[in-house]
A and B are shown apart, each in its own frame.
Chain A
Amino acid sequence: MLTVSNVTKIFNPGTINEKVAINDLSITFHDGDFITVIGGNGAGKSTLMNLISGVYPIDAGSIQLNGKEISRLPEHKRAKMLGRVFQDPMMGTAADMEIQENLALAYRRGRGRGLKWGISHKEKELFKTQLARLGLGLEDRMTSKVGLLSGGQRQAITLLMATLQRPELLLLDEHTAALDPVTARKVLELSEELISEAKLTTMMVTHNMKDAIAHGNRLIMMNAGKIIFDISGVAKQRLTVDDLMHEFAKAGGEDLSDRALLS
């Protein structure tokens, strides 16, 4: 369970560029929640995710993951509990390292690192079966450098890496936005599969309203650093894109971005 309480984040305070990115925001993620997050540009979706993962410190409030205060921990310590996939497919993997080396790094997330060999035989077998289920033929290219792979392949590997050690919370930051539509759908299906299989508590930021409606058991809409709409269960299943647009207009939000309108 993740509890975000009265969190505020202000960028460039005291300057002409001051921006209240997150404004006294509170929300609780229950175990097994798969939450999709939508909102216009600058609504604070990614910022919220970055505050949870520790990319930036919060200015006020608290963030507790399963009863543990994490808002003062450095990013790498929070990473022990979090699985993350970024928007940029290049960001989640080390390009100059082999596929199996990348997986081995992720396999050690949250565990100590010592002078043992960086990858064991048993792990290679495990990685092979895990890669096979991606259906991309990567299980036969385990010693290839990740940099040789396409964006979609890299994003699929990043997903696998994020879930290789069960995360207490999975953070997906518009992780299909930079992919072509066909690849995006595949990566999204894979995400759904991994999440439902392990019943992972998940937060998925997306620009695509249809995706936000089709996936997850709960949907939140953000505007100006606040949550303006939070719907779950049966009500969420009945949701349509029109409903969302209506909600957005009602909240007096600025225009949804063109990308969101078109999708």
Chain B
Amino acid sequence: MEAVSLFFTSFGKSLPGTFAQGLIWGIMALGLYLSFKILDFADLTVDSSLATGGGVSAILITNGVNPALSLLCAFGAGMLAGAVTGLLNTKLRIPPILAGILTQLGLYSINLHIMGRPNLSLLGKAGVLSMSNNTQAIILSVIVCVALILIMYWFFGTEIGNAIRATGNNEKMARAVSINTDAMKVLCLVLSNGLVALSGGFLAQYQGYADVNMGRGAIVIGLASIIVGEVLLGRFTNFIVRLTSTIIGAIVYYVIIAFVIQLGLPSEDLKLLSAIVVAIALAVPALKKKKVKAQLIKAVAGEE
């Protein structure tokens, strides 16, 4: 009994940090929503562009640049990474997954060059948010998330935003209504990776260091957030709710992770767990269809 209460006390204590982390990764999930859901492009660039954002922000701060400004630069660096993937795909006709992997691999070296070392500590340097003050970190990230959701809602209601949605939905139709689909793809990947890198910048400042491997598996975390959000709030089709549910999905994902760690799951098994969870979640629609089909066959057979 005592063990159970001890378990929940320490789990409860870790919650604020978990929330802050979930919100910051939520920004990354918003970025992934752009490429994966709106453009229908599984963009693996994100695994490296997150670290690009973290690295850019960290190196600038250690060189005395204002932390908020460093985030803006992180956003810009991520946009460049997205542009590379977009151009590889549209101009050189490299398939989406491969284009993302190529940029991801190349970025790894670039990230090392940006930081000058694999791990860059921000010890003693103040960022816009920090683990040592979770309340402030949560408030700030909530404001950022809300602002980003509102901007995205506005943007995808504009003519260009609609053109991007049409490109992701039906490319042939988009071209037939004179949309430059190549340009829309590049633009969407640019914005997507900008958000991912921004998230990386926030993350580096929050945890007090940037690491060249900080984005490994980011795409899986982002997908998990989107899917968890859809499971929780999937019945609402409103775009604002969809975006919000993605952030909520990221928070829930991190709460689950914190919970299983508290249960004693070794942290080296975390990525395996994440992969399994996402694999199951992605398989759900197919499994559901099979079940419905089986029931239909049964029902028809029963009638006869």
- In the complex, identify which listed stretch (B139-147, B162-170, B244-252, B294-302) lies at the interface while the others stay far away: B162-170
User: Which residues from chain A contact B173 at a C-beta distance below 8 Å?
Assistant: 91-94
Q: A79-B175, A106-B177, A113-B163 are in contact. Are A95 and B158 (CB under 8 A)?
A: no
- A97 and B166 in contact (CB under 8 A), knowing A116-B159, A118-B157? yes
Q: Is B178 located at the chain interface by the 8 A CB criterion?
A: yes
Give the docked Cα–Cα distance between A84 and B155 (Å): 28
B188 to chain A, nearest CB (A): 14
Distance between A114 CB and nearest chain B CB, rounded to angstroms: 6
User: Top 9 closest A-B pairs, CB basis?
Assistant: A79-B178, A118-B162, A113-B159, A94-B169, A109-B177, A94-B170, A109-B178, A80-B178, A84-B176
Residues of chain B at the chain A interface (Cβ within 8 Å):
155, 157-163, 165-166, 169-170, 172-181
- B159, B166, B170, B178 pick with most chain A CB within 10 angstroms: B178
Q: Are B179 and A93 in contact (CB under 8 A)?
A: no
Instruction: Tell yes or no: A213 within 8 A of B by CB.
Output: no
Give A174 Cβ to nearest chain B Cβ, in Å: 15
Given A95-B169, A104-B162, CB of A117 within 8 Å of CB of B157: yes
A166 to chain B minimum Cβ distance, whole angstroms, is 14
CB <8 Å contact, B179 and A105: yes
Complexed CA–CA distance, A218 and B155 (Å): 47
Instruction: Tell me, yes or no, whether A248 is within 8 Å of chain B by CB.
Output: no
Given contacts A76-B180, A79-B177, contact A115 B162 (CB under 8 A): no
Q: Collect the chain B residues with CB atoms within 8 Å of residue A193's CB.
A: none
A94 touches B159 (CB 8 A): no
With A76-B181, A91-B172, A94-B173 already in contact, the answer to whether A105 and B160 are too (CB < 8 A) is no
Are A96 and B179 within 8 A (Cβ)?
Answer: no
Closest chain-B Cβ to A42's Cβ sits at a distance in Å of: 22
Return the chain A residue nearest B160 by Cβ. Answer: A113
Q: Are A115's CB and B160's CB within 8 A?
A: yes
- A118–B169 CA distance with the chains assembled, in angstroms: 16
Known: A76-B181, A105-B174, A161-B177. 12 other contacts (CB 8 A): A76-B179, A79-B178, A93-B170, A94-B166, A94-B174, A95-B170, A104-B162, A110-B178, A114-B158, A115-B155, A117-B157, A118-B157
Give Cα distance in the complex from A80 to B176, angstroms. Answer: 8
State whether the Cβ of A139 lies closer than 8 Å to any Cβ in chain B: no
Q: Is the CB of A118 within 8 A of B179?
A: no
29 sampled A-B residue pairs with Cβ under 8 A: A53-B176, A75-B175, A76-B174, A76-B175, A76-B180, A76-B181, A79-B175, A79-B176, A84-B176, A91-B173, A92-B176, A93-B173, A94-B165, A94-B170, A96-B169, A97-B166, A104-B162, A105-B179, A109-B176, A109-B178, A110-B178, A113-B162, A114-B158, A114-B159, A115-B159, A115-B160, A118-B157, A118-B159, A162-B176
